[in-house]
Copies of this chain bind each other. A is one copy, B any other.
């Protein structure tokens, strides 16, 4: 049994607790223990603010986990949720394996075109309407994200979920759990 920190913007869903419960059930079905960010009991008596307590609780859960399964589905822009991306960087530096999935198939460049309009191509590269270069490596997100997953020896799971289900479809999440099992069995 592997303790898995379940990172992702799932916590922002109206039915976040139900999605967390469904993810934890799938973890259990694969013989693992899922830790969902909303699991933590925040100490009410502390003088610190709620945001500080959530931060500390999430960091403590990452330390307690043997690995992370991250939902890198694009969130409010062409990249993954900032909190999730922070957490995968943090976990990797601790030497914990990170498994990741996204429920949108288009690559980063295609998503910038979708959100920002056509790119301008010059000899020096391709530029979005914000005047900044657009990475064109065929990767799913900023290269630091995509390469951090691939650099461990497995690929991020990219799945084209129906538009209305990109934050609830758990098929790619379950594929990550199979990667987890294979990794820890090896």
Cross-interface CB contact of A14 among B92, B127, B143, B151, cutoff 8 Å:
B127
The 3 closest A-B pairs by CB, nearest first: A77-B77, A89-B89, A55-B147
Do most interface residues of chain A lie in helix, strand or loop, or is the interface mixed? helix
Q: Is A50 an interface residue (CB 8 A)?
A: yes
State whether A54 touches B130 (Cβ < 8 A). Answer: no
Chain A interface residue count, CB cutoff 8 Å, equals: 58
State whether B58 touches A115 (Cβ < 8 A). Answer: no
Q: Which residue of B lies closest to A89 (CB)?
A: B89
Most B Cβ at <10 Å: residue of A55, A78, A127: A55
Q: Which residues 106-143 of A have a CB within 8 angstroms of B?
A: 112, 115-116, 124, 127-128, 130-135, 137, 139, 141-143
Given A55-B148, A91-B93, A151-B55, CB of A141 within 8 Å of CB of B50: no
